[in-house]
Amino acid sequence: MTFACSSFFKASCRTAAVALLGLVFASSVWAADAPRVKFDTSLGSFTVELNPEKAPKSVANFLKYVEDKMYDNTVFHRVIAGFMAQGGGFTKDMQQKSTRSPIENESKNGLRNVAGSIAMARTSDPNSATSQFFINFVDNKMLDYPSPDGVGYAVFGKVIEGMDVVNKMATIPTGMNDVPRQPIVVNSARLMATEK
């Protein structure tokens, strides 16, 4: 990385260069330390990287469900092409799983519902999210704070590998209530080892 500095600004330019390199290093360290969860599904595997700095409650909640193997043998029960795929709450025979208490909505964290982002699903009550989540197929700006209900939906991570597998979900025909006619099964969801 090179910087062109006049002699007059050499000291401040050197300081700026050091600060910039520090930011680059810090961001790469943060990315390496960010928790990653690998989903093995009936369509293939994909990996999400979580953002505990921006969404600490959502990430802690999600990781606890992963640790408890809550997502094993569940399905993506609501899939809308051109919108999103929702999972994390129903078994293969569409029985709703029991959950822990809801968490506080973190939609004001600055993360956006862009293609590949993972967010907490909820009811009309802004603070009703439990285990269910959704992955955006496309940019869904209307889900960001403060839209559509003055609160929005809390993003807590993003798909970093296997987005082709996620997009494959949108090709599965659906029936009543947007339930895929061919079950999209989550065989397992596991926290990956942190890179050092």
Interior CA angle at 187 toward 183 and 190, to 5°? 140
Give the residue numbers spanning the domain of 62. 35-191
DSSP 137: S
In a domain, 26, yes or no: no
What pLDDT is attached to residue 31? Answer: 54
- For 83-133, give the DSSP string: TEEEEEEEETT-PBPP--------GGGS----TTEEEE---SSTT---S-E
CATH of residue 49: 2.40.100.10
In a domain, 139, yes or no: yes
Report the phi/psi class of residue 178: left, alpha or beta, with left for phi > 0 and alpha for psi in -120 to 50. left
In a domain, 9, yes or no: no
Number of folded domains that form the chain: 1
**pLDDT tens digits, 6-50:** 444 444 444 444 444 444 433 433 455 899 999 999 999 999 999
In a domain, 168, yes or no: yes
Structure tokens at 113: 């519902």
In a domain, 51, yes or no: yes
In a domain, 56, yes or no: yes
What pTM value is reported for the model? Answer: 0.83
What pLDDT is attached to residue 147? Answer: 84
DSSP 97: P
What is the residue type of 163? M
194 pLDDT higher than 60: yes
Facing residues of 48 across strands? 37, 159
**pLDDT tens digits, 38-94:** 999 999 999 999 999 999 999 999 999 999 999 999 999 999 999 999 999 999 999
